[in-house]
Amino acid sequence: MKRWLVGAPMSLAQARHERLSKTVALAVFSSDALSSVAYATEEILLVLVLAGSAATHLTLPISFAIAGLLSVVAISYQQTIHAYPSGGGSYIVARANLGPTPGLVAAAALLIDYVLTVAVSVAAGVAALTSAFPPLVNHRVVLGVFFITAIAFGNLRGVRESGRIFAVPTYLFIGTLGLLVAIGGARWLLGDLPVVPPNAVEPATTSLTWFLVLRAFSSGCTALTGVEAISNGVPAFRPAESRNAAVTMGWMAGILGVLFLGISGLTSVMGIMPAEDQTVISQLGRALFGQGLFYYLIQGSTTLILVLAANTSFADFPRLSSLLARDRYAPRQFRTMGDRLVFSNGIVILAGAAILLILIFQADTHALIPLYAVGVFISFTLSQAGMVRHWLKEHESGWRWRLCINGIGALVTLAVTLVIAMTKFTHGAWIVVLLVPLMVLGFRAIHKHYELVAAELSLDHLTEEPPVENTVLVLVGDLHMGVVRALRYAQSLSPSPKAVFVEVDPTWTARLEDRWSKGGCGVPLIVLASPYRSMLGPLIGYIDRIARRTPSSVVTIVIPEFVPRRWWQHLLHNQTALLVKGALLFRRRVVVVDVPFHLET
Amino acid sequence: MKRWLVGAPMSLAQARHERLSKTVALAVFSSDALSSVAYATEEILLVLVLAGSAATHLTLPISFAIAGLLSVVAISYQQTIHAYPSGGGSYIVARANLGPTPGLVAAAALLIDYVLTVAVSVAAGVAALTSAFPPLVNHRVVLGVFFITAIAFGNLRGVRESGRIFAVPTYLFIGTLGLLVAIGGARWLLGDLPVVPPNAVEPATTSLTWFLVLRAFSSGCTALTGVEAISNGVPAFRPAESRNAAVTMGWMAGILGVLFLGISGLTSVMGIMPAEDQTVISQLGRALFGQGLFYYLIQGSTTLILVLAANTSFADFPRLSSLLARDRYAPRQFRTMGDRLVFSNGIVILAGAAILLILIFQADTHALIPLYAVGVFISFTLSQAGMVRHWLKEHESGWRWRLCINGIGALVTLAVTLVIAMTKFTHGAWIVVLLVPLMVLGFRAIHKHYELVAAELSLDHLTEEPPVENTVLVLVGDLHMGVVRALRYAQSLSPSPKAVFVEVDPTWTARLEDRWSKGGCGVPLIVLASPYRSMLGPLIGYIDRIARRTPSSVVTIVIPEFVPRRWWQHLLHNQTALLVKGALLFRRRVVVVDVPFHLET
């Protein structure tokens, strides 16, 4: 079953072949960033429209500001790619240059945003789908969960196959949206652009303040999420990795900027307002091309790229978790690659968290947006600040102008982080602002624990010790072939094992002692009195007395255990064994051994 | 915590003192039977009223028929008590005289009815409470669950304390209801009885057929549930047990008959109709005494006895389960007494099942009634039939007239069983008719399993065998003090243990081999190659090769396991150990031993 879903295991030698060409890498790492075109303009509009329809003329200026921000961030990250060819995620850069805590803050912020990327992208993808096929609107949550599960399985299969799967929809999206922007632009130049009559003139529910404009800007900044993906994934590029990655970063930023500005511009000049039942892109497509084949192609490719955008996170979340685990900040099971050369545990955790968000927020993009982007900009800021420190230490060629670029990047992204956190605080950003420090505390607690354990386990504590004095006891309640098997096993562990019986009913003791002479295998039977019919009290007392005798004493308790053939038969056996095991599990210098007796019946 | 709720443990020597005087025994064993007065008349009325208000004149004749049935059953059971002084429940009598299957049918029927007794009594008790305090009606389910839980804890404390708790409300109920019947009867003789004006003349929704009359009779037969309780509990009486139990049975039947006929008679002559919001007893009390102190005393004692009636089942259900377990028809954990001399497992299961019924039927007495009584009458019939066979075999003094009494009892209860099953089949009795054979099949499956296991475990299979050839392997992934502890422990089990390492990453192997020379304790390290990074595949292959070597080969796998101090730290460790344990648990001739390493940090 697992093999059929996930594929045959792959040896480590196959890892080298999993490198990506620039065109495939653009599809794998840029789908998140590019796909945000599908909702960024709409989120700006949704805020501005609170101050009435007239306020929406600010959409284009705000979009230009965001495009400017995009170019600053992209150029900043190209410096990072050159400085960190082995993968320069914010965590690595901030940790290396600013210290462990800033690194962990960046890591926490990024992990949160990877989860949100999956949830937001899938929710927006479902919205694009239901715009085209309105009857599906009631199944949003089910569709969202289905898409996340499908992507998770795709990723569990491994990275190059992922690349192949994702290349087609990404280029289809770039093609169809590019065509939409180009044709729309041409018709605007020719004065042939249709104007959409507004459904209703939106009444202003608030006045147009600077705060509202900044909130609209914050919402639009979701367009930048995912831009950093390439810098994390440099080692997945073909050699020369850094150069290829930086070029791909440039392509991506250019395509993203053009599409985003094109959509915002067309929306503005055509007077499109956000609607309950349709996305802005869907309205644009219908107005420009009618509800024909090309309209469905736009909606289809938008849905696909949004759903697949989540894939960016499925590449990065497990990679970042494994870095954290390598540095002992996360549970060590995130560190191991599965048998398909991907970090399976990270993939599963990410899918689970994103499905949870889809369920809680009922697959509603607008409800998720305020949580989004805060984390990304925190990590942008820390990454750029780290690069500033980097250039101050490493005086490579061109370090002065690189320092300048990263310095500007750091200041701009810091300002945007504060704007987003403040304008969206009450709408949900507080959750992230609260979660980041909590996660950092968690990372540090895990780290401290692993460090202390490592110290405790260090071979420096190795001393000459006398051999372990092992007393082997077989716990019996009766004498039958299962017990005989356990007695014989105990005799293979120790030359002088003893059998221990807790006497609840004295008449039973006499019967047992009688049978013991026949099948006791020469093992002496010790009877412990139990006036209150408790199994455990007398047993634990007896064991403790032996275990405390000398520092090298250990007591091994052998328990015969039935292994029945059917599940319901478990209910009919082993209750006492379970009880004893539970009670002795956490006792020092006591080892419990089950000797299985496989029932044939 | 458990001690405070349940009390200190008691030794078996204390068991003797837990015997009951006749007056206390009446309270403990009769509360179920007596309390049915609170709803039996109402259930008759609820059926008759379907044929219109006029049909309710049949209430008193039907009640007389039921009272006659009660005397037949009570006198029958007095014979049983004499013949089975050690406790003559239907299971024992049917099994001893008719064979195992009839015995199991009786047992299944009784177990079902004990659960229903708890559910119906508690539901009716809550109804009596909400009649007096209508605002509580929305909390019926919560009240029901609370009462069941409280009774269960009372019973977990032990039987004599239970007796003390239950004596006061039982006698209070007999006193207040007796006074109600006496005063009502006196006022009727004086011609002073108030007539309740009907809320509305009930329209007939069906015609008054013989089937309807029999259905009303069936509903009224719930008055007889619990009559058999005393015959199960003979050993709990003070000596001479049989005589005392038989006398108590007579008292109980007399009191029950008088109260039931009194209530039915007063209801008839006063023209009381069943109502949604009030029980019939509550209407009687209000009409005769006004809503004063005595009214609240009636409702209070009715609530109390009904809620405590469930106690009869809490004495009998665990006792019957333990008998079944002793005969290997039920899981053996029902057999053991807890440290307060009660069969704790039976008490817990009964409480759980009754709470489930309360939740499913929303604490509605009328919805539960059709399931009730079928089981009781099945067991009555089998018990009396068994007694007929008993007297035919054992010719004690008076066996001829005792045979006649039990013969009449058997025929009458068989007829009533058929009437109940048929008239109530579609209303819910089908559930019981289906459940009884299923439970019997379950009992037989358990019995067969235990018998086969016993045969397999029999010491007849004991043969001379060569000593076990035990190969002790320590599974390692690293070398640290936890592993050193495991290696030293392994050396106490075998003169030549080996360490096994599954190589996932060859660079790690070199590092491990280097460290091994320092801390390996002289144990040889075996490296198993794993091209696909699977832990389990190579390990299981290696183990299987050793285990199959000779018939006396056993492989002991020693796994070092961390025991952290805090729960969340478990998530950070032992994932591999858990995986390996799970995979090897059901393998033959493989024993897994965890050597705990208690972390100090």
Residue of A nearest to B483 (CA): A457
Residue B200 confidence class, pLDDT cut points 50, 70, 90: low
Choose among A519, A531, A572: nearest Cβ to B462.
A519
Choose among B12, B467, B593: nearest Cβ to A593.
B593
Who's near A137: CB < 8 A, 6+ residues apart?
A130, A277
Residue B344 confidence class, pLDDT cut points 50, 70, 90: confident
Residue of A nearest to B596 (CA): A591
β-partners of residue B526 are B500
CA distance B510 to chain A (A): 17
Residue of B nearest to A331 (CA): B572
What confidence score (pLDDT) does residue A447 get? Answer: 94
What confidence score (pLDDT) does residue A576 get? Answer: 72
Report whether A593 contacts B593 (CB < 8 A): yes
Choose among B453, B563, B600: nearest Cβ to A599.
B453
Q: Is B579 left (phi over 0), alpha (psi -120 to 50) or beta?
A: alpha
What confidence score (pLDDT) does residue A337 get? Answer: 61
Residue identified by tokens 């949003």 is A140
Q: Do A480 and B488 touch (CB under 8 A)?
A: no
Per-residue pLDDT tens digits for A55-84: 888 999 999 999 999 999 999 999 889 888
Per-residue pLDDT tens digits for B467-490: 889 999 999 988 889 899 999 999
Per-residue pLDDT tens digits for B159-191: 555 566 678 888 999 999 999 999 999 999 998
Q: Do A462 and B533 touch (CB under 8 A)?
A: no
Q: Which residues of A touch B333 (CB under 8 A)?
A: 575
How far apart CA B521 and CA A361 sit, in angstroms, is: 57
Report whether A444 contacts A470 (CB < 8 A): no
Q: Do B481 and A458 touch (CB under 8 A)?
A: yes
pLDDT score of B5 more than 60: no
Question: How confident is the prediction for chain A on average, in pLDDT?
Answer: 86
Choose among B333, B470, B586: nearest Cβ to A492.
B470
Residue B8 confidence class, pLDDT cut points 50, 70, 90: low
Mean per-residue pLDDT, B558-567:
84
How far apart CA A193 and CA A213 sit, in angstroms, is: 28
Q: Do A462 and B586 touch (CB under 8 A)?
A: no
Q: Do B591 and A593 touch (CB under 8 A)?
A: yes
Residue of B nearest to A452 (CA): B601
pLDDT score of A512 more than 70: yes
Q: Which residues of A touch B482 (CB under 8 A)?
A: 457
Who's near B359: CB < 8 A, 6+ residues apart?
B141, B145
Choose among A339, A482, A532: nearest Cβ to B533.
A339
Residue of B nearest to A480 (CA): B457
CA distance B598 to chain A (A): 7
Q: Do B569 and A449 touch (CB under 8 A)?
A: yes
CA distance B512 to chain A (A): 12
Q: Do B462 and A484 touch (CB under 8 A)?
A: yes
pLDDT score of B12 more than 70: no
| pTM, rounded to two decimals | 0.69
pLDDT score of B555 more than 60: yes
Q: Which residues of B touch A465 (CB under 8 A)?
A: 488
How far apart CA A576 and CA B294 sit, in angstroms, is: 53
Report whether B141 contacts B363 (CB < 8 A): yes
pLDDT score of A492 more than 80: yes
Q: Is A169 left (phi over 0), alpha (psi -120 to 50) or beta?
A: alpha
pLDDT score of A12 more than 80: no
CB atoms near residue A256 (< 10 Å): 25
How far apart CA B246 and CA A324 sit, in angstroms, is: 77
Residue identified by tokens 């029902």 is B334
Per-residue pLDDT tens digits for A390-409: 999 988 888 888 999 999 98
- Output the furthest CA–CA distance in chain B (Å, rounded): 109
Per-residue pLDDT tens digits for A114-137: 999 999 999 999 999 998 888 888
Per-residue pLDDT tens digits for B360-415: 888 888 889 888 888 889 999 999 999 999 999 988 888 888 999 999 989 989 99
Q: Which residues of B touch A491 (CB under 8 A)?
A: 467-468
Q: Which residues of A touch B453 (CB under 8 A)?
A: 562, 599, 601
What confidence score (pLDDT) does residue A463 get? Answer: 84
pLDDT score of A500 more than 70: yes
The share of chain A scoring above pLDDT 70, in percent, equals 93
What confidence score (pLDDT) does residue A202 get? Answer: 66
Q: Which residues of B touch A519 (CB under 8 A)?
A: 459, 462
pLDDT score of B10 more than 60: no
Question: How confident is the prediction for chain B on average, in pLDDT?
Answer: 86
What confidence score (pLDDT) does residue A296 get? Answer: 93
Residue identified by tokens 């599974």 is B475
How far apart CA B16 and CA B46 sit, in angstroms, is: 47
B28-59 b/e with 16+ CB inside 10 Å = b?
A: bbbbbbbbbbbbbbbbbbbbbbbbbbebbebb
How far apart CA A524 and CA A133 sit, in angstroms, is: 79
Q: Which residues of B touch A588 (CB under 8 A)?
A: 596, 598
Residue of A nearest to B480 (CA): A457
Give the pairing type, strands B469-476 and B553-563. parallel
More confident residue, A125 or A165: A125
What confidence score (pLDDT) does residue A394 get? Answer: 84
What confidence score (pLDDT) does residue A457 get? Answer: 87
pLDDT score of B14 more than 80: no
Residue of B nearest to A585 (CA): B596
pLDDT score of A11 more than 60: no
Who's near B577: CB < 8 A, 6+ residues apart?
B475, B559, B560, B561, B594
The share of chain A scoring above pLDDT 90, in percent, equals 41
Number of cross-chain residue pairs from A and B with Cβ atoms under 8 Å apart = 171
Q: Do B481 and A467 touch (CB under 8 A)?
A: no
Q: Where does A521-565 have alpha helices with state H?
A: 536-547
Residue B119 confidence class, pLDDT cut points 50, 70, 90: very high
Q: Which residues of B touch A596 (CB under 8 A)?
A: 585-586, 588, 591
Per-residue pLDDT tens digits for B282-331: 999 999 988 889 999 999 999 988 887 888 788 788 888 988 998 999 98
Report the candidate in A343, A361, A479 with the shortest Cα–Cα distance to residue A428.
A361
Per-residue pLDDT tens digits for B29-69: 888 889 999 999 999 999 998 888 888 889 999 999 999 99
What is this model's ipTM? 0.72
What confidence score (pLDDT) does residue B397 get? Answer: 81
Q: Do A468 and B453 touch (CB under 8 A)?
A: no
Residue B201 confidence class, pLDDT cut points 50, 70, 90: low
| H or E element, residue B562 | strand B553-563
pLDDT score of B7 more than 80: no
Mean per-residue pLDDT, A291-309:
89
Q: Do B453 and A492 touch (CB under 8 A)?
A: no
Per-residue pLDDT tens digits for B485-499: 999 999 999 999 999
pLDDT score of B1 more than 60: no
CA distance B104 to chain A (A): 18
CA distance A234 to chain B (A): 23
Q: Do B468 and A489 touch (CB under 8 A)?
A: yes
Residue of B nearest to A571 (CA): B331
pLDDT score of B580 more than 60: yes
Choose among A458, A563, A571: nearest Cβ to B586.
A563
- Which of A517, A591, A598, A599 best probes binding to B when mutated, by most B CB atoms within 10 angstroms? A591
Rounded (5°) CA angle B242-B243-B249: 85
Q: Do B532 and A339 touch (CB under 8 A)?
A: yes
What confidence score (pLDDT) does residue B70 get? Answer: 94
Q: Do B9 and A532 touch (CB under 8 A)?
A: yes
What confidence score (pLDDT) does residue A435 get? Answer: 93
Q: Do A488 and B470 touch (CB under 8 A)?
A: no
What confidence score (pLDDT) does residue A298 get? Answer: 92
Choose among B449, B586, B588: nearest Cβ to A601.
B449
Residue B232 confidence class, pLDDT cut points 50, 70, 90: confident
First to last CA, chain A: 29
How far apart CA A286 and CA A274 sit, in angstroms, is: 14
Q: Do B480 and A459 touch (CB under 8 A)?
A: yes
Q: Which residues of B touch A531 (CB under 8 A)?
A: 11-13
Q: Do B492 and A467 touch (CB under 8 A)?
A: yes
Q: Is A87 left (phi over 0), alpha (psi -120 to 50) or beta?
A: left
How far apart CA A324 and CA A110 sit, in angstroms, is: 12
pLDDT score of B598 more than 90: no
Residue A332 confidence class, pLDDT cut points 50, 70, 90: confident
How far apart CA A29 and CA B281 sit, in angstroms, is: 77
Per-residue pLDDT tens digits for B487-542: 999 999 999 999 999 887 788 888 899 889 888 888 999 999 887 777 788 888 99
How far apart CA A319 and CA A89 sit, in angstroms, is: 10
More confident residue, B549 or B251: B251
- Backbone φ and ψ for A69, nearest 5 degrees, come out as -60, -40
What confidence score (pLDDT) does residue A290 get? Answer: 87
Q: Do B571 and A331 touch (CB under 8 A)?
A: yes
Who's near A468: CB < 8 A, 6+ residues apart?
A552, A553, A554, B488, B489, B491, B492
Report whether B51 contacts B219 (CB < 8 A): no
Q: Which residues of A touch B449 (CB under 8 A)?
A: 564, 569, 572, 601
Choose among A454, A482, A575: nearest Cβ to B457.
A482
What confidence score (pLDDT) does residue B11 get? Answer: 52
Which stretches does DSSP call E strand in A173-272? none
What confidence score (pLDDT) does residue B568 get? Answer: 79
- Backbone φ and ψ for A557, nearest 5 degrees, come out as -100, 115
Residue of A nearest to B497 (CA): A493
* CA distances in angstroms from B108 to A128, B29, B407, B436, listed in the order given: 59, 20, 23, 6
Residue B401 token pair: 């007239």
CB atoms near residue B10 (< 10 Å): 21
Q: Where does A53-139 have alpha helices with state H?
A: 59-83, 90-98, 100-132
More confident residue, B263 or B519: B263
